[in-house]
Amino acid sequence: MSTNTILATLRGLLALSVYTLNTLFWCVFLFAAAILKLIVPAAGFRCRCSAVLNFIAVRWIAVNNFNMRLISRTRIRARGIEALRAGNWYLVISNHQSCVDILVLQNIFHRRIPFLKFFIKKELIWMPVLGLAWWALDFPFVKRYSRQTLARKPHLRGHDIEITRKACAKFCQLPVSIMNFVEGTRHTAAKSRAQQSPYRHLLRPKSGGIALVLQTMGAQMTSVLDVTIVYPQGAPRFWDLVCGRLEDVHVHVREIPIRRVPAGDYFGDPEFRPVFQEWVNDLWLEKDARIQVILEKNARNADGTSIYPRAA
């Protein structure tokens, strides 16, 4: 084992320890506030508890960002975040390549917009520590049903939509940023081929999730933030990040005022649905071209060699 590999491993273990201890430390306060919120039914008190919970989460993210910058040595080059405001409501949409995407988004948006809330698979509530933390922070847990399941149990049709509506109703009290990876899964070459994706760097976007958020909270939303994440050396693993092998990340943020987003009943109006899907497809065409430009520009400044194993 080379000296560089040993140093990278030690760096990774140190960074991983900081992430773990930071999470455990703040979860003590997080769970205490969540229990108070659970046992006291007064709406005003619960609203104040939600504000405290968000405050704790912001401090947790601050230490994670420090860890990424100092120990992992990752440089994030972000454009388009200067005019954002923490008092606004945002719908954040992004391409998805790695679990590192979430840490990147939390880094660039820290204290610039409200704390990001993600839609999470219901099964992840059982993840140690983090599952309870997501529950305490009112992250919406959704359960997706396959076509086969819906065929056997038609009464479940629309159940996930109702869960999403109830989750969005909780977000009407305090400013929030709702995050959605529109592709629904991480991009790989194999998934792109299976989908016969028309995009060079992206999977096909799914419009139903963001349409539901906009239909439920469109009147409160300030903007849609269209985020493009680019890893010039290939999509990294979390271990690549903590070991200091992820040196550069490029992020482009485009703010779209809510008045420029098509409005309508996506689930009740069959004529509106293709209009909204076409709008999302156009965003993805522009995103795909943007990724290509960033990669080509980066290649002119480096040899473009990937240091990460690319997914098949």
- Reduce the secondary structure of 250-277 to three states and give it as a string: EEEEEEEEHHHCCCCCCCCCCCHHHHHH
- What pLDDT is stored for residue 98 in this prediction? 94
Q: Which residues contact 149 (CB under 8 A, 6 or more apart)?
A: 156
Cβ partners under 8 Å of residue 158, min gap 6? none
Strand partners, 229: 251
Q: What is the DSSP annotation of 70-81? A: HTS--EEEEES-
**Residue 92: strand pairing partners:** 179, 225
Q: Is 191 buried (19+), middle (13-18) or exposed (0-12) by CB count in 10 A?
A: middle
Q: Quick one: which of 85, 60, 81 has its CA closest to 137? A: 60
Digit-by-digit pLDDT tens for the chain (312 residues) are: 678 788 889 999 999 999 999 999 998 998 898 888 888 888 788 888 888 988 999 999 999 999 998 888 889 999 999 999 998 999 999 999 999 999 999 999 999 999 898 877 777 777 777 777 887 787 877 766 556 665 676 655 566 666 667 766 667 677 889 999 999 889 999 999 999 999 999 999 998 888 888 887 877 889 999 999 999 989 999 999 999 999 899 999 999 999 999 988 888 888 999 999 999 999 999 999 999 999 998 877 765 455 444 443
Give pLDDT, residue 156. Answer: 55
CB 113 within 8 A of CB 90: yes
Contact 188, 311 (CB under 8 A): yes
Spell out the domains of the chain, with CATH numbers in brackets.
73-301 (3.40.1130)
> Would you state the pLDDT for residue 151?
63
258: Cα separation from own chain's centroid: 19
- pTM for the full predicted model: 0.87
